Amino acid sequence: MRPCEVYLHFGLLDAVPKSGSQRRKIMAFINGLRNEPYTRGDFTDRDVSLRERQIKIIGDYAVTFWFDAPVQIVMVVDIGPADQ
């Protein structure tokens, strides 16, 4: 399988620490989704259209994403504090 595209809104990066190990871990996880788009999160939820989304906890942060298999794109739709 060729690497997938990973899309995220630039504004989501404002929620990520500007430096440090948590930033490196979050960015490594997002980059890793290119080669492992079927990665399961620690939790799942559904958006308003009932699409199942994966939620991965990385340190103090939760990364929410879903894989659009027909077009081979991973959509990162939220990054925020894990305790919310």
pLDDT in tens, the chain (84 residues): 688 999 999 999 999 989 999 999 999 999 999 999 999 999 999 999 999 999 999 999 999 999 999 999 999 999 999 986
Predicted confidence at residue 84, as pLDDT, reads 63
Predicted confidence at residue 58, as pLDDT, reads 96
Cα dihedral: 51, 49, 26, 62 (round 10): -100
Predicted confidence at residue 48, as pLDDT, reads 94
Measured CA to CA, the distance from residue 79 to residue 16 in angstroms comes to: 7
State the alpha helices, DSSP H only, in 1-84: 21-32
Extents of the domains making up the chain: 5-81
Predicted confidence at residue 2, as pLDDT, reads 81
Contact residues for 73 (Cβ-Cβ < 8 A; gap 6+): 4, 5, 6, 7, 67
Place of tokens 């899309």: 7
Find out if CATH 3.30.2310.20 is the number for domain 5-81: yes
